[in-house]
Amino acid sequence: MRRLTGVTVTWMRYPHAAALMLTAAGLLASCGVVHAGASSGDRPWWYRTGVSMCGPPAQVRLHGHVMSVGNCAGMLLVPAQQVTLDVGQQIDIHMTEEGTGPHGNKWVPAFPLPQSSRSSVLTRSAISPDRATASYRAVRPGHAVLMSSRTFCLHTRHHGFHETTASCPVVEVTVIP
């Protein structure tokens, strides 16, 4: 076997390295871009732009801001993210959809829409026709958890043996007067 000798190409080294770094920085910056859709014509509020390797199981809109819940692997987390609402305020939840059917062109929610653990505190007020998006209204002070399927539920804190019950929290809501 012959031994490779060092090759120095100084006229290509720095410009190509800089171009590679700029490309990588642009790709990384685009991974975190979420667009709320407020001024984007017909796009829904949960529409995401940019390239991302992150597939959170749900998007939540609260006080005009959109945030992802769960992790990038599409799993809901225990404990869930906590939010606070005033009585009368609304929280919107969109469950990530996946393609089904023979051609993958029919979209259905990957998780069922969450149910309120205490409908006297937080009640569902609207559901989209595709059953992937719902609005919930804060009715009275208290604490409620919006719960969905336990299929992809990840416990991030362990205190001994802990088994997931029949559902998994999407978001914990405290309603104040």
Per-residue pLDDT tens over the stretch 57-81: 999 999 899 999 988 888 888 889 9
Q: Is residue 14 included in any domain, yes or no?
A: yes
Do 138 and 78 fall within a single domain?
yes
In 3D space, the residue among 82, 69, 84 whose CA is nearest the CA of residue 34 turns out to be 69
Do 101 and 158 fall within a single domain?
yes
Do 40 and 71 fall within a single domain?
no
pLDDT(41) > 80: no
Do 20 and 71 fall within a single domain?
no
CATH code for the domain in which residue 167 is found? 2.60.40
Distance CA 128, CA 163 (A): 32
Do 32 and 62 fall within a single domain?
no
- pLDDT range class, residue 110, cuts 50, 70, 90: confident
Do 24 and 83 fall within a single domain?
no
Average pLDDT over residues 40-48: 77
Q: Which domain holds residue 92?
A: 58-176
Distance CA 78, CA 101 (A): 31
Do 159 and 86 fall within a single domain?
yes
Report how many domains make up the chain: 2
Do 43 and 97 fall within a single domain?
no
Do 45 and 74 fall within a single domain?
no
**How buried is residue 151: exposed, middle or buried, by Cβ count under 10 Å (0-12/13-18/19+)?**
middle
Do 44 and 87 fall within a single domain?
no
pTM score, whole prediction: 0.69
Q: Is residue 128 included in any domain, yes or no?
A: yes
pLDDT(6) > 70: no
Q: Is residue 3 included in any domain, yes or no?
A: no
Highest mean pLDDT, choosing among 77-81, 130-134, 163-167: 130-134
Secondary structure in 3-state letters for the chain: CCCCCCCCCHHHHHHHHHHHHHHHHHHHHHHCCCCCCCCCCCCCCCCCCCCCCCCCCEEEEECCEEEEECCCCCCEEECCEEEEEECCCEEEEEECEEEECCCCCEEEECCCCCEECCCCCEEEEEECCCCCEEEEEECCCEEEEEEEECCCEEECCCCCCCCCCCEEEEEEEEEEC
